[in-house]
Amino acid sequence: MNTTQTHPELVSYNPATNEPVGTLPITPVDQVSVVVERSAAAQKRWASRPIEERAEQLRPAGERLAAEAEAIGTLLTREMGKPLAEGIGEVTYAAKGWSEEIDEIVSALRPEVIEDDDRLTRLYFDPLGVCGAITPWNFPVLMPHQAVLAGLVAGNSVVLKPSEETPLVAQAYCDVINEFLPEDLLQLIHGTEDQGKALVASPVDLIVFTGSKAAGEHILGSASNGLKRVILELGGKDPMVVLDDADLDAAVTFGVRNAFRNAGQVCVSTERIYVDDAVHDEFVDRFVARTAELQQGDGMADGIHIGPMISARQKALVVEQLAEAVEDGAVVAHGGGDAAGNFVPLTVLTGLSHDMRIMNDETFGPIACIQRVHGDEEAIELANDTPYGLGACVFGEVEHASRVARRIEAGMVGVNSGCGGASGSPWVGAKHSGYGFHSGPLGHRQFCQVRTVSVPK
């Protein structure tokens, strides 16, 4: 991302072609607190209205978003690089679930009554105030969406600082919602981590951050100044365990999809695959054959499954990890090396060990790492040998795989499927992958201040 001191504009580039897609004015750092002040005034008016009224005001925005899905999805693909069907699909997903999610939030925040022999206590889920949301580029609509909708329905105002890599699509998403909202309730600030830091330092009441572990740690430290509430959704190094009784076809189909989707730039990408010795060789053969079927290229072109890395910087990180792994003895079963522009070849590595950086650090690129294990105990031990704990999955006979899944130290574990839960489940990271969480009734309440009022009986 090119940002210069003399030309205060954020230029957004298409990562597949390196051509500019558009520009937006950078918010001067000293203006961030002014934006937050206006946000606080708007929040007071918004919070004074009943939650049902707020919900109804927001509800029609879902239909407008659906009507704009193709236009915003196309912009998303041009700005971020994922295939067009996935770009449009991301916007459609947010639009389709819009109304249902509003209902879920309203229901989760209804006051509750608890009582004992002596007292009756009413539990209220009140707004917190100004929510500062800071988001990454890999799902440039869904990441802002999950903070914006939950924050607003709960009665907060939102100041969003989207990634400097994908400002245009975040702006387009917010422009749609703002057609239905009073002034200043949902505002954007544009810029780099400097604007993010200024937002964290400003008098916001809640910081909802999705991004890297390093930035999350920094934000947690800064938020202590003012005791700001935080929700941090951070990086991962998700394991997949393939047991000796797994349906190999299902395991390979899932593994290939989840290692390479969005060029591996997904927080719950399958980055480590532990395969039982009994099925390891066959799994690898099938995995390589399926990988070879995938077409990589400009997401705007027909028949493309996988796009580029978001930037030359992200590519350099992935290529460096890959080269280091090969130097340390990893075997390239498919791909490897380099490709033109911001592309990284889809790569399958075997012969891995936990002495290698690629089995420890988040890669965030299209590299599938397959390690042979001997039995469930070794698979569980290696899957848990990480400071991360976002998602995981276990493939095997259902009862067997479910027992193994319960021992994996991740926030979300899928059995014979990805880690996402049924509708209403939280999106939650364990260990260093999360601090607080969002989504589902439990997550929606984290956008609130819980208060009790008790009356003697």
Q: Rounding to the nearest 10 degrees, give the CA dihedral for residues 48, 49, 51, 57.
A: -140
User: Min. distance of Cβ 241 from ligand NAD in angstroms?
Assistant: 20
Long-range contacts of 417-422 (CB under 8 A, 24+ apart): 417/254, 417/393, 418/254, 418/258, 418/268, 418/391, 418/393, 419/238, 419/268, 419/390, 419/391, 419/392, 419/393, 420/268, 420/391
Compute the distance between CA of residue 155 and CA of residue 131 in angstroms, rounded to an integer: 10
Cβ-closest position to ligand NAD: 196
Question: Which among 55, 62, 54, 187 is positioned nearest to 131, based on CA atoms?
Answer: 187
In the complex with ligand NAD, the residue whose CB is nearer, 104 or 271, is: 271
**409 part of the active site:** no
Please identify which of the residues 86, 101, 165, 233 carries the catalytic annotation.
Answer: 233
Q: Which of 333, 325, 334, 316 is nearest to 354 (CA)?
A: 325
Tokens (6 digits) for 331? 């075997």
User: Distance between CA atoms of 431 and 48, rounded to whole angstroms?
Assistant: 37
- Residue 219 or 393 with smaller CB distance to ligand NAD: 219
Closest CB 392 distance from ligand NAD, rounded Å: 13
Q: Rounded to the nearest 5 degrees, what angle is found at the Cα of 288, between the Cα atoms of 285 and 291? A: 150
CB 264 → ligand NAD: shortest distance, Å?
Answer: 10
Q: Using the minimum distance from each CB to ligand NAD, give the nearer residue, 164 or 376.
A: 164
- Residue (271 or 376) nearer to ligand NAD, CB: 271
Give the pair of three-digit tokens for residue 46: 């918004």
Q: How far is the CB of 64 from ligand NAD (least distance, A)?
A: 25
Residues that bind ligand NAD (CB under 6 A): 134-138, 143, 161, 163-164, 192-193, 196-197, 200, 210-212, 215, 218-219, 233-236, 267, 362, 364, 390, 427, 429, 433
Q: How far is the CB of 371 from ligand NAD (least distance, A)?
A: 21
Active site residue 131: no
267, 369, 393, 448: the active-site residue: 267
Show Cβ contacts of residue 119 under 8 Å, excluding neighbours closer than 6 positions: 454, 455, 456, 457
Residue with tokens 């939280």: 426
Q: How far apart are CA 240 and CA 281, in angstroms?
A: 16
Compute the least distance from the CB of residue 194 to ligand NAD, in Å. 8
Q: Look up tokens 């991302």; give the residue.
A: 1
Kindly list the catalytic residues. Answer: 233, 267
